[in-house]
Amino acid sequence: MVGQGVLRECLCDPDVSLVLSVGRTTLPIQHPKLHQIEHSDMQDLTPIEAHLLRLDACFFCLGVSSSGMKEAEYRQVTLDITLAVANTLVRLNPQMTFIYVSGMGTDSTEVGRTMWARVKGKTENALLKMPFHAYMFRPGLIVPLHGIRSKTRAYRILYTLTKPILPWLRRAFPNAVLTTEEVGKAMLIVARRGAPTRILESKDIRALLS
């Protein structure tokens, strides 16, 4: 949902001249600013490197739910693919801003009991050591707007069930509940001018918009 949200904000923003989407499948939308590359092996971007030059920012929104996954499998998707992409981009665009979508509860110590949080923490720590402008986004509950839907069935069911109380949750917990639009706009702000901290929890993300 975050990927769909930031894509929408990029396409709507007149200051963004080009959006390059790289994924295993193409997106079901067309736009004059949107260029799409279908690439099956995200751990080897060598065949498409010529298309990855002169980019100002990367919004890395690839991810999967850890439910039912063994740690090695989850690590391959979450850590290995992320670092493979980041290592290629930092070599090609050393001044770029790299924004990684992590999640609330990520474990920076890498030794906690929760598997997904450990792996996310290890991924964040590796990105923060790279020689480019890296920022970690840790949103909590995200409310989808503008027709955006989660690709995860369990999340879609959750959002359907909680839809009547989402407005109340946003009022009751303004620093814990964000919309896809807010997260997308905040990512663009960080791409343009950075942020006071390199790890942004929900309250930090909201503060960027004020």
The full DSSP string for 5-53 is: HHHHHHHH-TT---EEEEESS--S---TTEEEEE-S-TT--GGGGGGGS
Do strands 199-201 and 133-138 pair parallel, antiparallel, or not at all (unpaired)?
A: parallel
Domain boundaries 2-208, corresponding CATH code: 3.40.50.720
Give the integer Cα–Cα distance in Å for 80 and 153: 25
Contact call for residues 166 and 143 (beta carbons, < 8 A)? yes
Whether the pTM exceeds 0.85: the reply is: yes
pLDDT at residue 135 in the model? 98
Distances in Å between the alpha carbon of 99 and those of 49, 61, 186?
A: 19, 8, 11
The closest of 32, 135, 38 to 86, measured between CA atoms, is 135
Tally of CB atoms within 10 A around 166:
15
Q: Give the separation between CA 84 and CA 70, rounded to whole angstroms.
A: 21
Query: How many of the other CB atoms lie within 10 Å of CB of 168?
Result: 11
Size of the chain in residues: 210
Q: Which two tokens stand for residue 180?
A: 């896809």
> What are the structural domain ranges in the chain?
2-208
What pLDDT score was predicted for residue 154? 65
pLDDT (tens place) for every residue of the chain, 210 residues total: 899 999 999 999 999 999 999 999 999 999 999 999 999 999 999 999 999 999 999 999 998 889 889 999 999 999 999 999 999 999 999 999 999 999 999 999 999 999 999 999 999 999 999 999 999 999 998 888 888 776 767 666 666 767 777 777 778 877 788 999 999 999 999 999 999 999 999 999 999 998
Task: Quote the pLDDT of residue 156.
Answer: 67
pLDDT at position 165:
79
Tokens for 158? 């959750």
CA gyration radius, the chain? 17
Would you say 194 and 97 are in contact if contact means Cβ atoms under 8 Å apart? yes
56 vs 187: CA distance, rounded Å: 13
At residue 155, the pLDDT reads 64
Helix intervals (H) in the chain: 2-12, 71-75, 81-92, 115-128, 153-162, 166-172, 180-193, 202-208
